[in-house]
Amino acid sequence: MKKKEKAALVQEILDKHFPDPPIPLEHKDNYTLLIAVLLSAQCTDARVNLTTPALFKKASTPKQMIKLSIEEIEDIIRPCGLAPAKSKAIWNLSRQLIDKHGGKVPGNFEDLEALPGVGHKTASVVMAQGFGKPAFPVDTHIHRCAKRWTLSSGKNVVQTEKDLKKLFPEDSWIKLHLQIIYFARKFCPAKAHDKKNCPICSKIC
């Protein structure tokens, strides 16, 4: 089976199991989405969703956020891990949004990736889920599945992203990103993976 044929079958199976995948991180606008995605680094979405209500109750805009001290932010977000670095990034990016972007989250990769603590994956999530612009954020789940399904032999997420973008239609990237994450968690985990009962691996691996 050629890669394009595999990709088409993967998409068909994903559409069957997760036809309308919800955005897993709770947010109310692009700023709160950006903060939630930043907090999700090396942390589960569930943990982030338990933590952000307390933070956003105190500060849900850049102007409100910079009124808090970095220590106050750190204290609230500690359950998400990496709190010292994340709290500094949240405060500094909020300051930069005010100084350079009128308090608004920019809708392009260059400006997003220039924000403190914002890498390509975080920017991709905001572009896709916040602005609805074609992007294919690749996390460890997607990287693992792409390799397992032999859709990519990329040794890093950058190469995996390039490979997947070539195989799938651009208008499906945003949905696919979420579908693969949900599928990976339910059927295709890193450990104790049951290949025979995995709807995709049982057919193409």
Across 101-160, the runs of DSSP E, i.e. the strands, are none
For residue 1, pLDDT beyond 90: no
How do residues 9-34 score in pLDDT, each as one tens digit?
A: 999 999 999 999 999 999 999 999 99
Phi-psi region of 42 (alpha: psi -120 to 50; beta: other; left: phi over 0): left
| 30-130 CATH fold | Endonuclease III; domain 1 (1.10.340)
Q: Is 147 a catalytic residue?
A: no
For residue 95, pLDDT beyond 90: yes
Which residue in 6, 86, 121, 175 is the catalytic one? Answer: 121
In the chain the first and final C-alpha atoms are separated, in Å, by 10
CATH of segment(s) 3-22+135-204: 1.10.1670.10
As a whole number of angstroms, the distance between CA 158 and CA 154 comes to 8
Which pLDDT score is estimated for 72?
Answer: 98
- Where do you find CATH 1.10.1670.10 in the chain? 3-22+135-204
Average pLDDT, the chain: 97
- Where do you find CATH 1.10.340.30 in the chain? 30-130
What would you measure as the largest C-alpha separation in the chain, in angstroms?
Answer: 57
Which residue in 57, 75, 133, 139 is the catalytic one? Answer: 139
User: Encoding tokens for residue 163?
Assistant: 């490979």
Q: Is 88 a catalytic residue?
A: no
Closest CA to 30 of 119, 87, 108: 108
Pair 177, 165: CB distance under 8 Å? no
